[in-house]
């Protein structure tokens, strides 16, 4: 496994020491003549017209967020016009909250409280971080069927359940997934790689500058490679 790392930055917080081709930018809503030099542009809530403008300007890849969530036809039209390799989806996600409800179907004489969500899962967030109830794994699969080349997922891996969800995502989609933390300032990147099987990381400038985190990630990658060769 070869680990790839990209910087994920706000338009107004461009890292000076990073190769533009290795950087994904959140769209600042203003046309930038140098946009084509960057590795990709991420649209949190911007609409299809903005995606078309950027792609026509030469941006290599655009990751569409909430606009694709509202209308799956957005990605279909972009793929048809510009090709799947230039179109991705942006997926901010969080663990689905376990809700509880009364179930009276099992026994008419009494009610029991049962969880409405029995299995761990991630749900997609809107640009304002409100929950949608849409399962991330399922939705990514649907977008891949419509021809998108990649998904950029931001989610925090906080426990074994998250690592298992991540490993499942990697098993199904592999190198089509770029994954990075949503809010975690000190992610355990070694665990992400060793147990979540992440092979493509996206990190905010503050994290990508923390060499100790990257060294831990690289060490985990070497360990995984050694185990694979031994097997």
pTM score of the predicted model: 0.86
Q: Is the pLDDT reported for residue 231 higher than 50? A: no
> Which one has a higher pLDDT value, 119 or 35?
119
Fold of 4-94+123-230: TIM Barrel (3.20.20)
**To the nearest whole percent, how much of the chain has pLDDT over 90?**
61
Q: pLDDT band for 29, please (50, 70, 90 cuts).
A: confident
Would you give the distance in Å from CA 127 to the centre of its chain? 13
CA–CA gap between residue 39 and residue 193 (Å, rounded): 22
CA–CA gap between residue 214 and residue 45 (Å, rounded): 30
Among 24-28, 39-43, 46-50, 217-221, which is the least confidently predicted range?
A: 217-221
Q: What is the pLDDT of residue 112?
A: 46
Residue ranges per domain, the chain? 4-94+123-230
Among 19-23, 68-72, 96-100, 118-122, which is the least confidently predicted range?
A: 96-100
Beta strands in 99-172 (DSSP E): 100-103, 112-115, 122-125, 131-135, 150-154
CA–CA gap between residue 76 and residue 58 (Å, rounded): 19
Average pLDDT over residues 98-102: 58
Q: Is the pLDDT reported for residue 21 higher than 70? A: yes
- Going from the C-alpha of 208 to that of each of 131, 174, 190, 211, 221, the distances in angstroms are 28, 22, 14, 7, 16
């Amino acid at each position: 496994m070869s680990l790839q790392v990209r910087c994920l930055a706000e338009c107004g917080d461009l890292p000076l020491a990073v190769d533009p081709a290795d950087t994904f930018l959140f769209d600042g809503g203003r046309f930038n003549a140098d946009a084509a030099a960057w590795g990709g542009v991420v649209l949190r809530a911007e609409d299809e017209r903005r995606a078309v403008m950027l792609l026509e300007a030469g941006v290599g890849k655009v990751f569409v967020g909430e606009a694709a969530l509202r209308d799956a036809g957005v990605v279909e039209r972009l793929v048809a016009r510009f090709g799947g390799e230039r179109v991705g989806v942006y997926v901010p996600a969080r663990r689905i909250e376990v809700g509880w409800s009364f179930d009276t179907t099992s026994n008419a004489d009494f009610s029991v409280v049962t969880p409405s969500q029995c299995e761990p899962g991630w749900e997609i967030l809107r640009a304002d971080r409100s929950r949608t109830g849409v399962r991330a794994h399922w939705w990514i699969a649907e977008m891949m069927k419509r021809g998108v080349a990649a998904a950029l997922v931001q989610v925090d891996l906080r426990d074994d359940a998250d690592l298992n969800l991540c490993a499942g995502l990697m098993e199904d989609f592999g190198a089509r997934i770029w994954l990075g933390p949503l809010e975690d300032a000190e992610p355990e990147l070694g665990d992400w790689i060793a147990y979540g099987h992440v092979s493509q990381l996206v990190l905010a400038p503050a994290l990508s500058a923390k060499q100790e985190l990257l060294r831990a990630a690289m060490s985990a990658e070497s360990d995984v490679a050694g185990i694979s060769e031994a097997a």
